[in-house]
Amino acid sequence: MDKMILRRMEYYGYHGVFDEERKLGQRYYIDLTLELDLHEAGINDDLSKTVNYAEVHELVKGIVEKKSFKLIEALAEDIASSVLDTYTMVGALTVGVTKPHPPFDIHFEGVTVEMYRSRK
């Protein structure tokens, strides 16, 4: 299966277990790998035969920036189900949600959850 990969889309959201996280917000990075057939789009140079990645970006932006979840797992699940519900030509996807600066008294680059979802 072909893939469309959207790497490190950056948004500002209000997610977290702690009240301050949901009040102050923080930066999040989203990675999406969409599995779909890109053959017709490639040979015909036709946007209607593929997924418009600008629209995917806006869909994800609306979820990350307008909703609030305690867990980034819930955020990832919402993104996955919304993309699959909106784009029927996507057969499966992998979504990664990175919280680059979790509020811990330890130093590391961030935490990422990654999940794979497909049509049943």
- Residue 14's Cβ-side half-sphere holds a number of Cα atoms within 13 Å equal to 10
Residue 5 backbone phi and psi in degrees, to 5: -115, 125
23 is catalytic: no
Residue 6 — φ and ψ, nearest 5°? -110, 110
Q: Which of 3, 23, 67, 99 is catalytic?
A: 99
Which residues are part of the catalytic machinery? 99
